[in-house]
Structure 1
Amino acid sequence: MKLHRTLGHALLLTLLSAGAARAGNLLIESWRVDDKALWETVLIPAFEKTHPGIKVKFSPTAPTEYDSSLAARLAGGTAGDLMACRPFDVSLALYKKGHLDKLDGKPGMQNFPNIALLAWQTDDAKDTFCMPIASVIHGFLYNKKIFKQLNLQPPKTEAEFFSVLDAIKKTGNIAPLALGTADQWESSQIVFTSIGPNYWHGEDGRMSLIAGKAKFTDPAFVGALEYEAKLGTYLAKGASAQTYGDSQNQFALGRAAIYPAGSWDISYFNQTSGLELGAFPPPVKRATDKCYISDHMDIGMGVNTRSKNKADAYTFLSWVGSAEFADIYTNRVTGFFSLSKHPVKVRDPLAKQMVDWRASCASTIRVNSQVLNRGQPSMENELWNINAQVLNGKLAPKDAAAKLQNGFAKWYKPPQ
């Protein structure tokens, strides 16, 4: 009996010690491996300075492995207290499985507008399960030196854009567009979802697809594909074999004048000495047209429902919703823009150019991100392949639109 009491006492001490070791410690899961130094040397020290009793560790996983490895750790009860959330369906699935806390009404959540919450809410918008952190913006970067040499101005309309592209093409030694289709994803995520919103009017067109009031074969979507096909005639020779990395290198070396970009590319090009860059949003058809930009929600943060230290997890999450965090993240992770209501002074001049488009253009997200990726054939995969073929001149815009719509119609039934 005495032995049993001793063992029981030892087991109780072990459990209490484990709990005590856990209290005051937080582990953050993320796919943003590139941000590890920032978290360890800037963000975490900034938080711990005002919260000395809480120790935080940032533990990223390679982006391609994050979803599966996080799911395994969550299922096994070994995941961190807080986790970086991908937008829309991936995080929604985690919430439906009970892995993420509901965050409505939690401290810090009041600092975000309703539109910013969209990527981390249930379809009926009743439950929010991740705090928004940042979005990325799509548009075009251009080489100021080349534009000056050719006496060119950043285009505002499509007609001006094609005049600029023609002038560059005539040089014979500079590619008008630094863009390849070997990796395919840029064709959809950077080109189609960037130029398209001016045709389908951003959120109006996206929500009409979800509601079943619009089809990919409608003039607005076909028009965007026709525009894309025309852009494809300005790619460098061999573009079908050109990777994303090849395009970055081509533009950085001054071998192409314009780069269809995501704002995350800014940090890469900032490393190239002497490269002077400007940016312009997707040109509109007519100067009087309203402009739209793809301002895509990229990353949020949620609380693990099985965290052993939720009080501190919510303290940290509240800080993520603060003006201090918004400023640090926006200005140190260049090209990622805070989704909060806090006014942030963007210090990188190119990033500031892009985020300032929010003041004159309506923001929207990638057209297929919400709801439309849930069936087979996968809308995401279809868009990659189809847009690459359109840019390569291998698929006519009307045929591309029909293929998208036919695949979509096989599984999607609009809500009644």
Structure 2
Amino acid sequence: MTARHVKLALLAATVLGSAGTAMAQDATLTIESWRNDDLTIWQEKLIPAFEAAHPGIKVTFAPSAPTEYNAVLNSKLEAGSAGDLITCRPFDASLSLYQKGHLAAIQDLENMKNFGDVAKAAWSTDDGSATFCVPMASVIHGFIYNAEIFEELGLTPPKTNDEFFALLDKIKEEGSYIPMAMGAKDQWEAATMGYTNIGPNYWKGEEGRLALIKGGEKLSDDQWVEPLRQLAKWAPYLGDGYEAQAYPDSQNLFTLGRAAIFPAGSWEISIFNEQADFKMGAFAPPVQNAGDECYISDHTDIGIGMNAKSANPEAARTFLNWVGSAEFATLYANSLPGFFSLSNETVEMEDPLAKEFVSWRESCKSTIRPAHQILSRGTPNLWNEMWNVSANVLRGAQTPEEGGATLQDGLASWYEPQQK
């Protein structure tokens, strides 16, 4: 073989070798999501970090409008045109996709070891044998307050119910500000930022939630009715016309400095940071008595899984394993303050308000919203019933006891463990 032939053979081997490598590594992944508000964070922070460490894999974030996501995603999955990676809503919506064969089981990914059972519960089968989405983030509930109003009026964040209502009385008596910004029109906020925000301190978080699933406790029991009684007591502090006040109205009242306190989900942090020009603080749901164990609603909110029919399964698994890493946890939690990592890895938060919310995990026990696992599969849907009852109690259309009976009767009408 001449020197020229040797060179050509080497060149051919190099070209074929690099082509083989390219075929093995090159892949473009598409992410389906309902979170179109964080498009720039994916494009500017998350995807570049992944691609830098995995040069053979390109990633495209392609969200749908939140209200259209479920329908759009289902039609794409049925047609075989969905992306490789599927952003997962918690519990039954994603479980249904897994049961239909649309999501792949991924519990064998190395970094799934970074998540505890409560974190994985939102994206696992009822028996916990299969997990089909990597947990990404939770939202924590509590109360955000205007620190400048608190300073002006000489107020300190409350720890107990008595302190909470004494604080509200003081703000109301002074007269310059609405004590709390929340309305009853949209219903979901009365349940989410009202009933299931303060409720875990009464039903003892996971203990009560799991007892409800097993049939050992009823929604008409005192520990489930008492938070409705507390919610009813909020009414005098919500301002004139709160019965017809929508969620955006409540947000505006707070960010414009007209209300002192906002019963909140931590997703408000990013919004309020942009819209409010005053310093803010946060306090956890007050306990009944000083020294009581505290519980917080630390609700599994968003995960990500793999389309079972992805043309790039290995690349998709590589991406999902990265989502389970400490690097992703830190990047995501700090890019979206108020969406907290579900990883067991330590994540250092930068935003002061986010730091306050997540610090409650150290002193309080975490739980998730009680209607979301198993208990909203029938008719009436328990979560929708909680919306309706919470709003009714807040505006005085039902007594707390009547509300508890409505919830219990609805659940017992279709859920066998509650029929005993």
* 1:277 equivalent in alignment to 2:275: no
- Equivalent residue, structure 1, for 2:137: 134
Aligned-partner SS, 1:129: coil
How far did 1:107 drift? 2.5
Q: Tell me how far apart the structure 2 counterparts of residues 20 and 288 of structure 1 sit (CA, whole Å).
A: 62
The 5-angstrom pairing of residues 9-408 of structure 1 reads 24-272=27-275, 274-408=277-411
The letter for the 1-side match of 2:40 is: A
Which is worse superposed, 98-107 or 275-284? 98-107
How far did 1:63 drift? 0.9
- Equivalent residue, structure 2, for 1:4: none
Task: Return the TM-score normalized by structure 2.
Answer: 0.93
Aligned-partner SS, 1:404: helix
How far did 1:172 drift? 2.3
1:159-211 residue CA offsets vs partner (Å, 9 max, x unmatched)? 00000000001122311111011111100011111100000000111111110
Q: Tell me how far apart the structure 1 counterparts of residues 145 and 47 of structure 2 sit (CA, whole Å).
A: 36
Q: Tell me how far apart the structure 2 counterparts of residues 409 and 113 of structure 1 sit (CA, whole Å).
A: 31
Aligned-partner SS, 1:370: coil
How far did 1:21 drift? 12
Contact persistence 2:102–2:308 (CA under 8 A) = yes
Aligned-partner SS, 2:274: coil
Q: Tell me how far apart the structure 2 counterparts of residues 128 and 53 of structure 1 sit (CA, whole Å).
A: 27
Q: Tell me how far apart the structure 1 counterparts of residues 23 and 386 of structure 2 sit (CA, whole Å).
A: 50
The letter for the 1-side match of 2:129 is: K
Aligned-partner SS, 1:358: helix
- Equivalent residue, structure 1, for 2:19: none
Contact persistence 1:85–1:301 (CA under 8 A) = yes
Structure 1 residues 78 and 21: CA distance shift in structure 2, 3 A: farther
- Equivalent residue, structure 1, for 2:14: none
How far did 1:95 drift? 0.4
How far did 1:253 drift? 1.0
Contact persistence 2:25–2:56 (CA under 8 A) = no
The letter for the 1-side match of 2:111 is: G
Q: Tell me how far apart the structure 2 counterparts of residues 95 and 20 of structure 1 sit (CA, whole Å).
A: 29
The letter for the 2-side match of 1:350 is: L
Q: What's the C-alpha RMSD, in Å, of the aligned pairs?
A: 1.5
Contact persistence 2:30–2:60 (CA under 8 A) = yes
Contact persistence 1:182–1:243 (CA under 8 A) = yes
Q: Tell me how far apart the structure 1 counterparts of residues 194 and 242 of structure 2 sit (CA, whole Å).
A: 14
Q: Tell me how far apart the structure 2 counterparts of residues 98 and 22 of structure 1 sit (CA, whole Å).
A: 26
Q: Tell me how far apart the structure 2 counterparts of residues 355 and 389 of structure 1 sit (CA, whole Å).
A: 31
Aligned-partner SS, 1:233: helix
How far did 1:247 drift? 0.6
Contact persistence 1:23–1:308 (CA under 8 A) = no
Contact persistence 1:179–1:259 (CA under 8 A) = yes
The letter for the 2-side match of 1:293 is: I
The letter for the 1-side match of 2:84 is: D
5+ residue gaps, structure 1, are 1-18
Q: Tell me how far apart the structure 1 counterparts of residues 276 and 112 of structure 2 sit (CA, whole Å).
A: 40
5+ residue gaps, structure 2, are 1-21
How far did 1:351 drift? 0.3
The letter for the 1-side match of 2:370 is: V
How far did 1:131 drift? 0.7
How far did 1:273 drift? 5.1
Q: Tell me how far apart the structure 1 counterparts of residues 48 and 148 of structure 2 sit (CA, whole Å).
A: 40
Contact persistence 1:22–1:308 (CA under 8 A) = no
Q: Tell me how far apart the structure 2 counterparts of residues 410 and 76 of structure 1 sit (CA, whole Å).
A: 37
Q: Tell me how far apart the structure 2 counterparts of residues 173 and 408 of structure 1 sit (CA, whole Å).
A: 43
Q: Tell me how far apart the structure 2 counterparts of residues 47 and 244 of structure 1 sit (CA, whole Å).
A: 36
Q: Tell me how far apart the structure 2 counterparts of residues 273 and 403 of structure 1 sit (CA, whole Å).
A: 39
Aligned-partner SS, 2:233: helix
Q: Tell me how far apart the structure 2 counterparts of residues 371 and 22 of structure 1 sit (CA, whole Å).
A: 40
How far did 1:20 drift? 6.8
Which is worse superposed, 396-405 or 172-181? 172-181
Contact persistence 1:117–1:128 (CA under 8 A) = yes
Contact persistence 1:232–1:390 (CA under 8 A) = no
How far did 1:235 drift? 1.0
